[in-house]
Amino acid sequence: MAIKERMSGNEAVAYAIRQVNPDVMPAFPITPSTEIPQMVSTYIANGEMDTEFIPVESEHSSMSATIGAQAAGARSLTATSSAGLALMWEELLLAASNRMPCVLTLVNRTLSGPININCDHSDGMGARDTGWIQIYAENNQEAYDNFIQAYPIAENEKVHLPVMVCQDGFITSHAVENIELLEDEPVREFVGEYEPEEYLLNPGKPIAVGPYSVSNYVMEAKKNQEIALEQSKEVILEVARKFAAISGREYGLFEEYKTEDADYIMLIMGSAAGTAKQAVDDMRENGKKVGVLKLRVFRPFPAEEIAQALKNCKAVAILDRCESYNGNGGPLGSEVTAGLFRAKVMIETVNYIYGLAGRDFTVGDAVDVFEELEDMIVNGKKVQQYQYIRLRS
């Protein structure tokens, strides 16, 4: 039976952590993710869960301890944001290459500089090539639901990779929304017990974790890791189907919102998808055929699936909440267009950068983007292919 509640995104994730009751949580505070370990430590102090909480001296240590606990056979997790994730860089790569199915709840915040504590996706996008599965939430409900699905994905025998559960700093992490929680027992049955096949503290069966590898073996290890990431698509969808059976809420690699007959589609990720959907609703009332493709799973990147979803529209706006500093667009802009090209889906695209360091993105901004796409197709207007929204001149 669903439990109706009002919670911030941080509260929702902490509640999900309590329900899953992992074995070990090392953590170091950083805005805006600090509340998550704070709330979890309160649950532990109150006897509501028996997770071993480890206060550490830095985020690098936090991920190191998470990897160590996971290697020893314990289900482990941590939480961080922004520069905290950057300080974990070396360990992120180790977690993925050592095939540790741990979880990191990332509250997205801009990377310095200048120093800023508000939301963009530069931290998560900066870690996009570390080998982690990355799942992004639009709202507090999705942040809660995504965390519950994270361990069954990570621990699946076809995957054995870490999962990063991402939500937008302050926008979802601190804003309070109505939410439906599951009861504890169905969550624990859904996630199950962690029973690793190989682990360091398994008596009489020694293994090596993170050994030096000579050149003859490294490429094969990298390829196996890539195969597991690709296989995780199927597992993500399988876990989502099982989750729908206990929650009634359906998830995929992405969500298509009124795209069936859309001439113009906005591809976007995170909390701003709600803003884009409102723009679609408003424009649909005026007869405009527009839609939104909200990307949920950024890694593994569903290039072929996105190409198929977009192939019948006339133009797509690809919105990045991150600057890639390549002079050609953002991470989404680069990967979506590459996927379209390889699938031979030759539609018009425009890459926009929006919302850096918490800059507003409004319904009016989304409408302007759709209207610019239409002007480009209908009237032949020449549109700048890589542009910032709301950039002051």
Residue 292 predicted with pLDDT over 80: yes
Q: In what order do the strands lie in the sheet with 315-320?
A: 254-257, 290-295, 264-269, 315-320, 348-353, 386-388
Residue 353 and residue 389 in contact, taking contact as beta carbons nearer than 8 Å = yes
Indicate the helix (H) or strand (E) that contains 211. none
Average pLDDT, the chain: 97
Mean pLDDT for 66-70 is 98
What pLDDT sits at residue 305? 98
Residue 32 predicted with pLDDT over 80: yes
What pLDDT sits at residue 266? 99
Mean pLDDT for 309-317 is 98
Residue 174 and residue 107 in contact, taking contact as beta carbons nearer than 8 Å = no
Phi, psi for 318 (deg, rounded to 5): -105, 115
What pLDDT sits at residue 368? 98
The 8-class DSSP code of residue 304 comes to H
User: For the segment 177-194, what is each residue's pLDDT rounded down to a tens digit?
Assistant: 999 999 999 999 999 999
Q: How far is CA 115 from the centre of its chain?
A: 23
Residue with tokens 């199927």: 234
Mean pLDDT for 337-361 is 98
Q: What residues contact residue 129 under an 8 Å CB cut-off, 6+ apart? A: none
Q: How confident is the model at residue 259 (pLDDT cuts 50, 70, 90)?
A: very high
Residue 44 and residue 51 in contact, taking contact as beta carbons nearer than 8 Å = yes
What pLDDT sits at residue 312? 98
Q: How confident is the model at residue 172 (pLDDT cuts 50, 70, 90)?
A: very high
Q: What is the pTM of this model?
A: 0.97
- 3-state class of 28 per DSSP? coil
Residue 227 predicted with pLDDT over 80: yes
Residue 279 predicted with pLDDT over 80: yes
Residue 187 and residue 149 in contact, taking contact as beta carbons nearer than 8 Å = no
Beta bridge partners of 164: 104, 134
Integer CA distances (angstroms), 226 to 96, 150, 151, 164, 231, in order? 10, 19, 19, 16, 9
Residue 204 predicted with pLDDT over 90: no
* Six-digit token string for 226: 């890539």
Phi, psi for 115 (deg, rounded to 5): -65, 130
Q: Name the pairing type of β-strands 3-8 and 176-181.
A: antiparallel
Indicate the helix (H) or strand (E) that contains 203. none
Residue 135 and residue 150 in contact, taking contact as beta carbons nearer than 8 Å = yes
Residue 18 and residue 48 in contact, taking contact as beta carbons nearer than 8 Å = yes
Residue with tokens 């360990």: 91
What pLDDT sits at residue 393? 86
Residue 216 predicted with pLDDT over 80: yes
Residue 1 predicted with pLDDT over 80: no
Phi, psi for 233 (deg, rounded to 5): -55, -50
Q: Which amino acid is at 232?
A: S
What pLDDT sits at residue 381? 96
Residue 295 predicted with pLDDT over 80: yes
Alpha helices (H) along the chain:
9-20, 35-45, 59-71, 82-87, 89-97, 122-126, 140-154, 184-191, 215-247, 272-285, 303-310, 331-342, 363-379
User: For the segment 107-125, what is each residue's pLDDT rounded down to a tens digit?
Assistant: 999 999 899 999 999 999 9
Mean pLDDT for 128-143 is 98
Alpha-carbon distance of 31 to 170, in angstroms, equals 9
User: For the segment 359-374, what is each residue's pLDDT rounded down to a tens digit?
Assistant: 999 999 999 999 999 9
What pLDDT sits at residue 178? 98
What is the dihedral sign for C-alpha 60, 61, 62, 65? positive
What pLDDT sits at residue 203? 87
